[in-house]
Structure 1
Amino acid sequence: MMRNSPLALIFHALFSIFMVAPLVVVCLVAFTDKGYLSMPFDGASFRWFKEILERPEFIEAFWFSLELGVVSATLALALAIPAALAIGRWSFPGRGAINAFLLSPLMIPHLVLGVAFLRFFSELNINGTYLGLVLAHGLMIMPYALRLVLASTSGIDPTLEHAAQSLGASNWTTFKRITLPLLLPGIASGWVLAFITSFDELTMSVFLASPSTTTLPVRMYLHIEETIDPLVASVSAMLILMTLILMALLDKFFGLERLMVGKGH
């Protein structure tokens, strides 16, 4: 077995610290007892976590973002599953172009998407509506779900489906009893990643949100425009905790490494 050199270990350690340090600082600031951003070295407090419960606009924005993320991720997955099966299982003219087209939202800056959707939805009179946000978020997060479902598709042995059909199973039964369970790790990880991406989206949502459809990231952004206090840090710490819990559950039931490579050990 090859081992990393001491220099490589030092590099990876420094890189990990560089990535994690800002998140740690945000979580520490959330426990300050001051009325401004500071480290809680002279006294920790849950003051700003309690403040969240006294801000109904943040609570409403949280539940709205949660519902929007669930609906958008489900919509994205409903589009990603048939697309992944078609692209990953069959060879047909234009397959590469279709795959590139479906993944194109990853290559377009969210600022550009926000401006484009603002103009397009204004023509359809759905800008600032719940429907407009669902459509925009579903399109933006669909490539994340598609990539992970494609990874699971590549690990399916076609002979299993052929064997089921040779024994008299219909196409729907084969899909339900054979294909779908094998795709489940990719479906679960794709849904979770799409949900997290939708829940955390800010840049595009700023252009599409309205007073009645304000997501939590947009609410935090509007709050920062007025004042900078540890309330935003406490909300951010809660979001970090929620993300870690989701990733831990995903790792427990499916295994993150298995989900990323699309195959089991």
Structure 2
Amino acid sequence: MNRNSPLALTFHALVILFMLAPLVIVCLVAFTPANTLQVPTTEFSLRWFRHILDFPDFIQSFWNSLYLACLSATLAVALALPAGLAISRFEFPGRGFLNGLFLSPLLVPHLVLGVALLRLFTLIGATGNFGWLVFAHGLIMVPYALRLILAAATGMDRSAEQAAATLGASSVVVFRRITLPMLLPGIAGGWLLAFINSFDELNLSIFVTSPSTVTLPVRMYMYATESIDPMMAAVSAIMVAITAVAMLVLDRVYGLDKVLVGKH
């Protein structure tokens, strides 16, 4: 079947509609003036967004998640960048094992990783420490950064690096002035994917957070076990908006097409 045929286009449109419908419904429910989860039909209200301000725990959890996502995404990129360059450019014993090791968090359920990390942190007395929470998130976010950095490094034209080295530039200068700028779309895309997934992570966070480091998804889960009202839809709408803005900024700065194919 021709992918540009009306039937194919209709099928793709239906798939996109099916995937986006829950997000659209949640965002609409966030503006309901009613006390129940229902789509507003007569009027829209910011009532439940204002209601969030009455819960300082949600505000603190939001900042916890924001700091955690920024730090863990940065840690993930710091680990993925040298690993991606080594795997894409060199042949060495254990190369396949190293690649599989860095990508393994994609294969292990985060629920299992959460239990394992909780046990580890308990043994070393690190429970309730925000730094170890950053480490845990950074560990499982490495695959998201590594995949895009690998794509960028594999598709990169190395002739500019070779020319700079021939003209006498040191390896540090070549990396800083040529390699890093050419890899920047992949690095930025990997950082953004790691940030989004860390900000939204629940299964692992629910095991390794403490009362002082509760993240927003964990706070939402705790609130939902006690009551379900449109405030949850309002918080979810804010999270969707943050993700959309991050994607828009990335597209404006680098271009999503360049990020996804790893070329600059």
Q: TM-score range by the shorter chain?
A: over 0.9
Alpha-carbon distance between aligned partners in 1 of 2:12 and 2:3, rounded to the nearest angstrom: 13
Match of 1:225 in 2: 225
Unaligned runs of 5+ in 1: none
Match of 1:83 in 2: 83
Alpha-carbon distance between aligned partners in 2 of 1:128 and 1:151, rounded to the nearest angstrom: 36
Deviations along 1:60-108, one digit per CA (max 9) or x if unpaired, are 0001110111111111111011001100111111111110111000011
Alignment of 1:244 onto 2:240 = no
Secondary structure at the counterpart of residue 35 of structure 1: coil
What aligned pairs does 1:153-164 form with structure 2 within 5 A after superposition? Answer: 153-164=153-164
Match of 1:113 in 2: 113
Aligned-pair CA distance for 1:155 = 2.0
Alignment of 1:138 onto 2:138 = yes
Unaligned runs of 5+ in 2: none
Match of 1:200 in 2: 200
Secondary structure at the counterpart of residue 102 of structure 1: helix
Query: Aligned pairs, how many?
Result: 263
Aligned-pair CA distance for 1:217 = 0.4
4+ residue runs over 3 A deviation: none
Alignment of 1:42 onto 2:15 = no
Match of 1:8 in 2: 8
Aligned-pair CA distance for 1:18 = 0.4
Match of 1:257 in 2: 257
Match of 1:33 in 2: 33
Alpha-carbon distance between aligned partners in 1 of 2:110 and 2:3, rounded to the nearest angstrom: 40
What aligned pairs does 1:51-200 form with structure 2 within 5 A after superposition? Answer: 51-200=51-200
Secondary structure at the counterpart of residue 203 of structure 1: coil
Alpha-carbon distance between aligned partners in 2 of 1:148 and 1:257, rounded to the nearest angstrom: 12
Answer whether contact 2:3 2:9 (CA < 8 A) is retained: no
Aligned-pair CA distance for 1:42 = 2.8
Aligned-pair CA distance for 1:6 = 2.1
For the aligned residues, what is the CA RMSD? 1.1
Alpha-carbon distance between aligned partners in 1 of 2:43 and 2:146, rounded to the nearest angstrom: 47
Alpha-carbon distance between aligned partners in 1 of 2:207 and 2:128, rounded to the nearest angstrom: 8
| One-letter amino acid of the structure 2 residue matched with residue 176 of structure 1 | R
Q: Give the TM-score normalised by structure 2.
A: 0.97
Aligned-pair CA distance for 1:121 = 1.0
Match of 2:235 in 1: 235
| One-letter amino acid of the structure 2 residue matched with residue 243 of structure 1 | T
Alpha-carbon distance between aligned partners in 2 of 1:234 and 1:132, rounded to the nearest angstrom: 30
Deviations along 1:171-207, one digit per CA (max 9) or x if unpaired, are 1001001101001101111111101110000011001
Q: Give the TM-score normalised by structure 1.
A: 0.97
Alpha-carbon distance between aligned partners in 2 of 1:97 and 1:239, rounded to the nearest angstrom: 36
Secondary structure at the counterpart of residue 225 of structure 2: helix
